[in-house]
Amino acid sequence: MNPMRVLVVDDSALVRQIVTRILSETPRIEVIGFARNGVEAVSMVREFHPDVVTLDIQMPEMDGIEALKHIVRDSNARVVMLSSLDDPETTYRALEAGAVEFIAKPHEGMASSMERLSTDLVRAVRTAYAISPDKRVSTNTSASAAPEQPKKPQPEPAQSDPRQLVCIASSTGGPLALERVFAGLRTDTPTAYLVVQHLPAGFAGSFAARLGRVAGFTVLEAADGMRLRSGFGYVAPWGTHMEVTGAPGAATLIRLVDGPTLHGLKPSADPLFETAADCYGPAVTAVVLTGMGSDGALGMVAVRAAGGATIAQDEDTSVVWGMPGAAVKLGAALYVVPIDRVAVEIRRTLRGAEAAS
């Protein structure tokens, strides 16, 4: 089997050395070279045709965003961005431009987090390699059709405690897909929205704020003991599983649980789906969007068994149909729809459940 051929791009010699060492020591990954700026990166991609490029954002001569546009246009390379925590919005711009994954960029003096970096980097490269080149732009362009300007704030429902929960799971390709979904959500039913998106450590807060601007209602990074409110959204932070406890129309709390990883992930969507099904039964809508692996599929089985609604993104509009595909194969998805129909389907199920209550 041919190795995954990777080009490493970063203006820091230390970062290039760290990334190259990690990847070179990994079976079936071959580092074919490195570049120090965007100009070199674009030239080397055209010459050596790598499968995957790890790309820094802030570089001299040509930054990572501009280089990314050339790489996506001129090659089949899939791009993994090395992103700084102090500039998350640029990271999301890179996803809109065709990057397929991102990880937190290593910094000098980061020896204590080398194990996590190694795990995240290898996972990201393997995930990127598995993505079809034609999914880099077409699906991302569709998913990024959410309005760039903040939506006018939506009114909060009169009922502060939610009577319904919408729980959404996503991974690779998920940030843009979630923006598309949140742009179509409403606060006209007493509903709280909970999200498990597989993000690097430190990105949940900025991503929650971004979803809030797109949706026109408040979206928060979840905290342990936080009480759910209707018309609010909550994003699970990295490093803990998010669960809920409570009942429809009564105090419902978030619990962040530092348990073992599930599917190699923490947070995993399954604990959220399963506890939501236990607490809310038929008043839960579970949604699984694009992503590698099978996270959320077993939790969706629990939601469907409890009488809740279940929605999966279809294969054509998914960057990776792993997670939604696993739910479909288990027979857990009642509705399988393209990304631009997911919010419509959520609203329809919420209205139906509200009318039946």
Going along the chain from its start, the domains and CATH numbers come out as 4-136 (3.40.50.2300), 164-356 (3.40.50.180)
- Please tell me which residue in 51, 120, 198, 314 is annotated as part of the active site: 198
- Please tell me which residue in 51, 120, 270, 295 is annotated as part of the active site: 295
- Alpha carbon separation from 350 to 54, 155, 285, 357 (Å, rounded): 41, 17, 8, 11
Nearest Cα to 53, choosing from 22, 74, 32, 83? 32
Using an 8 Å Cβ cutoff, are 324 and 333 in contact? yes
Q: What confidence score (pLDDT) does residue 234 get?
A: 98
In three-state secondary structure terms, 189 is coil
- Please tell me which residue in 171, 230, 294, 318 is annotated as part of the active site: 171
Per-residue pLDDT tens digits of the chain, which is 357 residues long? 789 999 999 999 999 999 999 999 999 999 999 999 999 999 999 999 999 999 999 899 899 999 999 999 999 999 999 987 777 888 899 999 999 999 988 665 555 567 888 999 999 999 999 999 999 875 544 444 444 567 778 876 666 999 999 999 999 999 999 999 999 999 999 999 999 999 988 899 999 999 999 999 999 999 999 999 999 999 999 999 999 999 999 999 999 999 999 999 999 999 999 999 999 999 999 999 999 999 999 999 999 999 999 999 999 999 999 999 999 999 999 999 999 999 999 999 999 877 666
Question: Whole-prediction pTM value?
Answer: 0.93
- 268 flagged as catalytic: no
- List, as one string, the DSSP characters of 72-109: HHH---EEEEEE-TT-HHHHHHHHHHT--EEEEPP-TT
- 198 flagged as catalytic: yes
- 241 flagged as catalytic: no
Query: Could you tell me how many helices (H) and strands (E) the chain has, helices first?
Result: 12, 14
